[in-house]
Structure 1
Amino acid sequence: MYRVLTCLTSEHDWRLVVLAGTICWLASAVAISLFHRARASRGRTRAIWIGLDAAVGGCGIWATHFVAMLAYDPGAGAGYSIPVTLLSLVFAIGIVAVGLCIALSSARWPVVAIGGAVIGAGVAAMHYTGMAALELPAFIVWSPGIVVTSIVLGSVFAAMALLVAVRRDNPAHTLGATGLLTVAIVSHHFTAMGAVTLIPDPTLGTDGLSISPTALSFLTAVAAFAILGLSLLAAMIDRRAKGELHQQKVLLDTALDNMSQGLCMFDADGRILLFNQRYVELMDRSGMPLQGRLLIDVLRELKSVGEWDGDPDEFFAAVVADAKAGNTVTKSIGRNGRSLRVVDQPMKGGGWVATFEDITEWQAAQEQISHMARHDALTNLPNRTLFREQLEKALRLAKRSDQLAVLCLDLDHFKDINDSLGHPVGDALLKEVARRLGECITENDTVARLGGDEFVIVQFCSDCDPSAVALLASHVVEKVSAPYEIAGHQLVIGVSIGISLAPEDGKNPDELLKKADLALYRAKEDGRGTYRFFETGMDARAQARRLLELDLRAALQRGEFEVYYQPIRDVAKDVVVGFEALVRWNHSLRGMISPANFIPLAEETGLIVPIGDWVLRRACIDAAQWSQDVGVAVNLSPVQFKNPNLVSTVKEALKASGLPAHRLELEITESVLLQNSEATLSVLHELRAFGVRISLDDFGTGYSSLSYLRSFPFDKIKIDRSFVTELATRDDSMAIVRAVTGLGKSLGIVTTAEGVETDAQFDLLRQEGCTQAQGYLFSPPRPAAEVETMLLKPRARVVA
């Protein structure tokens, strides 16, 4: 150490020493700044920064050495070998470049330290090569211990300089790294100069490729200016790069602050590197410092004030472990009454980015969509999908002692109300029905709407018998059948119920629903407004009904339908004035099938439309061939009346047969008028316009018959057979017949009594002034071939 101090104080010019130190400081500052730029870059850009840094650093080391050598007075004339001097510059630049590449190859501190040590070795290589360029009339003797010390000093301080530089890119760390790198170069040089001992030898001199100290002074000055120029260039580039970085930072900050998501970036240790305001708002962390803090410290602080549930250490360890494993983790958390989706995405090189999204409204929308998909939009009851899920769950949970019943409900006469008063009234009625059904069940039961006017109830009770189901069914019938007040209308409907029991009638939803539906069909057959339990025979009846439907669909193609005719007699003249056409089905295997068995089925399946069209055409053809110009009456089903081609079908039938329109009479019931009064009246007026007569069948059985007579001028009204049958035995029936015939006389409408079977009934009808009569008293319906006989044969005075 004494030798070094003696060399520095007695053998050097302090003015040049200060100049060398200044050049070294400047070069070191620029080198550290460029190192930061290289570290922040990637790929080709990093390579450019490394090259520029190596050039500045190498030239700085070289200039520092030779300026310091000018400050050294060896006591004899000296020169410098040009090739070796240039080689020392190459060594300085090349080895510094290698050290920079090593230091920038990894963020781990041992690798950075090795890179710094290589730069220190480059300083040593440059120095001792430069010393080898010194030509003196003397021998240079080196002190090995001091030489090693100089190399160690340069490597250690250079390694420390880069470790400080990579710690953080801020003025304090940059200043510290610059100082350490300056110390590395200067300490190495002057320690190494302290290792020199000169032994004079006059025989030694300079060769032809040496350079004088004066020339070297010039070259050193040029090198110094080169360093200053490169420093200026680097500063300009650095300033521009920092400007771009600042602009990018502003853009990044703007983007982060305007994100709908919260974002927080963590390094490999869990330290918060970056976050936006949205993160602070969503996580409610505005009152605490976050930048640069470890996440575990933040969580512990939240735990201490009661704002964090669970174990912070355990949570932190799990997050860090997932990040190190490269796992992307998505989870949902609750915060201040809001639902947040958190996604932890690992980063290359360690650390992770956490994004926080408020999904409260999205979750509500998803729940609403799910609710809509599984509930009826009108009544908010479970729909078929949810009902099936609930029924399956109930069947799984039911024990042997539990009673589970499925009640299928169908509203009676709802369609008539829906068609006559419109869908808004029908919808309001369905809502009220749903409300009443909800009042009938317990919290263990379920009521659902399957569609239209179909509802279903699942009753679940423990250790009870079918009487509890019957009690519920009777309560539902009573509750639903009570009058409704809807939009100013007092409405009355009924309900039919079919019931199946589990496990007796089935162990799965399909089987239970099928058998409840069969029981419902039986309840409708038995007069509606009641309930029926499933019985084994119902399945057989349903099978028979399905077979009948199949035969009915093929009956038209096989030509199995026939038209029979029943005479209609004028009461006063006692002559036949027309015939009512009645369809009969002569099955190829079963023989004659009663209309009561197949007409309802045809109406339910829609087959009544082609069957009715065929009857109309057949009746027109037959009537056109009769010897007398009597009329023919054809019944129109309400289903037929919905056919938009009805008017054209009637016209085509008349045209094809040649039958005059006034001889055709179309009979409709009040249910036709219930469908859509305006459209129905329009069709009736159109039929009347080309001469067809219109008759109102089953008059007196509806609740608004008089309003129909006022809204449309019917040609005929037919008194229902239920009044005629009891004509001679009940005074009220007689009063109704008297009122209807009187009404017909007043309005100029023909009245026809149906179902006349005795002379006493006929005589009473004649006394009351009834215009026409038909029934078994005159003749049952006969095939078309017997019409002429019925026209010519006088009425027999017998009781049918």
Structure 2
Amino acid sequence: MLAGGIVVAAILLFVGTGGSVMQSIVQTIIGLGGGPDKVLAAAMILNIALILFGWRRYEDLNREIRERTEAEQRARYLADTDPLTGFLNRRALLAQGQRMIAEATGERRHVALFLLDLDHFKTVNDIHGHAAGDRVLQVAAERISQILPPTATKARLGGDEFVAMLPFEPVARAEIDALAAALVTALEDSVAHDAQQIRIGASLGIALATDASITMETMVRQADIAMYHCKDEGRNRHCWFQAGMEMAVQIRNQIETGIRDGMPRGEFIPYFEPQVDIASGRLLGFEMLMRWESPEYGLIPPERFIPVAEESGLIGELSLRVVRDAMEIAKGWDPSIVLAVNISPQQLKDPWFSQKLTKLLVETGFPANQLEVEITESSLFENLPLVRSIVTSLKNQGVSLSLDDFGTGYSSLSHLRALPFDRIKIDRSFIAAMRGSPDAQAIVVAIVRLGESLAMPITAEGVEDEATAIELTRLGCSKGQGWYYGRAASAADTARLLADRGLLRESARPQTPPPVGDEEQLRKTA
């Protein structure tokens, strides 16, 4: 303002003096005068210089103000925005979201908060690299922006979690459901990166604000709880928060904490389910199943804690700990008895898994040819080249490979051709339905015939009665397991079973407790 005032004053002074000076100059040129007054001429020149200097200073100051304003706006943008996606960050979301809740509820409207988590995103970084992970996040943000209305507030909380907020009329809840379903569907499409198609999915939780008393922190927590409920229900879906979900999350957190605390204390132990020759009843091996001996809750079955271990990323460490214990126990078995272990799909995403399992074989001294690794078909869909590398490495060590839950996937034949499997396991759902369903029986027959043509023996899971065993024998199924042959048992009970059949090494035989009254004689002998 000061520079502008100086320029204006100089211009007015120039107008006042310039007229007289210019008139004198013109009169001198035509021979009517003796030239302009030197004082006035000097004043006019000074005015011109002052105008030029003042104008330039005025422009410099304006430019500095513009640059400072742009810098402040840029700093504010960087402080409020996620640089990868262009969405708001957590801090800005909490501030803007609270204002949205107050304004919307004041107008008798509701606010929906979407919390969207990309399924298996950690696997994308582990397998394809962080550049691929960044590309997936950017594409996800683009798809979210395309589907949501421009009025929606969008944010990335961090990692692979996105939040969107939008006000709506109370009668338009169905539209919110439609938007949520559209988001989940859009994120099921694969993402192209470096000639690869990366498959992603999303689980979406929705929290609702109906009055201004609810805080942003509460809404985010409720949506997060609903999102984890979606993951428990099978992923690739959306769920509204309900009060009962909070208790489920607390239980899940207790289980996760129990797993973390229980692993170093040795609370997770192997159980062994018999596998027999169906025709003769001869014992061929055992499938290792995991149990949790909790000092607080007792013996916990795997379906209670395995999903939590997989979601929390603990399954790799947990599985290898129990497999090590199983190998130490199985070293005492007869060489004809095979130990079969299930491998989680999450473990097959680890490029170093075959080396880790080979290390266990070396450290425990367990023979590789007595180990059978069971791989579920569903774990093969995401990265077949990596799985091929892992199973080929295990095969080279002498480990046998079994394709578990055969028939439940949609690429079974291609997997049998692509990977060096030694055995096929028919899913228990087909065995259970076989007697009452001609279709299920036809599937079992087809799988058995396929195994014969590929020289791959067949194992049937879930054999629970004699009639099923007889029918499987007639169909040509060689190996079976299930309650009819014996339930999963502890290491001690398994050792007694093997000892009764003469299939236990002498050093591993269970010690028979001395008769009552012989303690003194034993002490003398010692």
Counterpart of 2:308 (choices 578, 601, 613) is 601
State how 1:666-745 maps to structure 2 within 5 Å: 666-745=373-452
Distance 1:705 1:640 in 2: 20
After superposition, give the CA deviation of every residue in 1:754-800 in whole Å (9 maximum; x if it has no partner). Answer: 12223333333333322321111211111112224545889xxxxxx
Which stretch shows the higher mean deviation, 384-393 or 431-440?
A: 431-440
Q: State whether residues 402 and 460 of structure 1, in contact with CA within 8 Å, keep that contact through their aligned partners in structure 2.
A: yes
The within-5 A match list for 1:459-470 is: 459-461=166-168, 464-465=169-170, 468-470=172-174
**Correspondence for 1:397:** 103
Contact 2:405 2:426 in 1 (8 A): yes
Q: Does residue 342 of structure 1 match 2:48?
A: no
Give the C-alpha shift of residue 673 in structure 1: 3.3
Per the alignment, residue 294 of structure 2 pairs with 587
Task: Mark the runs of 5 or more structure 2 residues left unpaired by the alignment.
Answer: 12-43, 502-526
CA shift, 1:643, in A, is: 4.5
CA contact (8 A) 2:333 2:498 kept: no
Deviation at 1:366, TM superposition (A): 7.4
The residue type equivalent to 1:408 in the other structure is: L
Instruction: Provide closer, same or farther for how the CA distance between residues 269 and 524 of structure 1 changes in structure 2, counting only shifts above 3 A.
Output: closer
Once residues 670 and 416 of structure 1 are traced to their aligned partners in structure 2, the CA distance between those partners, rounded to angstroms, is: 18
Residues 536-591 of structure 1 show CA distances to partners (whole Å, capped at 9, x for unaligned) of 33223222222222222121233222211001112233322110011101111211
Deviating above 6 A after TM superposition, structure 1's stretches of 4 or more consecutive aligned residues are 264-269, 294-299, 362-366, 413-429, 488-493
User: Distance between the aligned counterparts of 1:707 and 1:424, measured in 2?
Assistant: 30
In the alignment, what sits opposite 1:292? 46
Aligned to 2:176: 472
User: Of the two, which has the highest radius of gyration?
Assistant: 1
* Contact 1:419-1:674 at 8 Å conserved across structures: no
What secondary structure does 2:229 align onto?
A: helix
CA contact (8 A) 2:391 2:420 kept: no
Match 1:533 to one of 240, 260, 283: 240
Maintained 8 Å contact 2:184/2:237: no
The match for 2:283 is: 576
Deviations 1:592-643 (A, max 9, x none): 1121111111122222222211211111111111246210011122333444
Q: Is the 8 A contact 1:506 1:512 kept in 2?
A: no
Structure 1 residue 271 displacement after superposition = 4.5
1:664 aligns with 2:383: no
SS of the counterpart of 2:115? Answer: strand
- TM-score norm. by structure 1 comes to 0.51
SS at match of 1:577: strand
The question of whether the paired residues in 1 share the 8 Å contact of 2:154 and 2:164 is answered with yes
- State the one-letter code of the partner of 1:397: E
Q: Which of 331, 341, 350 is the matching residue for 1:624?
A: 331
TM-score, structure 2 normalization: 0.75
Deviations 1:650-683 (A, max 9, x none): 3343234332210011122235434543333222
Structure 1 residues 70-120: Cα deviation after superposition (integer angstroms, max 9, x where no partner):
xxxxxxxxxxxxxxxxxxxxxxxxxxxxxxxxxxxxxxxxxxxxxxxxxxx
Within 5 Å, give how 1:240-639 maps onto structure 2.
Answer: 271=10, 292-293=46-47, 342=61, 371=77, 374-376=80-82, 379-400=85-106, 401-412=108-119, 433-451=140-158, 453-461=160-168, 464-465=169-170, 468-478=172-182, 480-481=184-185, 484=189, 495-502=202-209, 507-627=214-334, 629-639=336-346
Q: Secondary structure at the match of 1:293?
A: helix
8 Å CA contact 1:579, 1:631 repeated in 2: yes
Amino acid at match of 2:358: K
**Identical residues among aligned pairs (%):** 37
Instruction: Give the letter for the 1:293 counterpart.
Output: N
Structure 1 unaligned blocks of 5 or more: 1-263, 273-289, 300-315, 320-329, 332-339, 344-355, 795-800
Give the counterpart letter for 2:308 in structure 1.
L
Instruction: Give the residue type in structure 2 aligned to 1:771.
Output: S
Specify whether residues 432 and 730 from structure 1 end up closer, same or farther in structure 2 by C-alpha distance, changes over 3 A only. Answer: farther
Whole-angstrom distance in 2 between the partners of 1:679 and 1:497: 29
Q: How many residues align?
A: 463
Q: Which has the higher contact order (CA 8 A, sep 6+)?
A: 2
Partner Cα distance (1:653, 1:484) in 2: 39
Corresponding position of 1:96? none
Whole-Å Cα distance in 2 between the matches of residues 599 and 612 of structure 1?
10
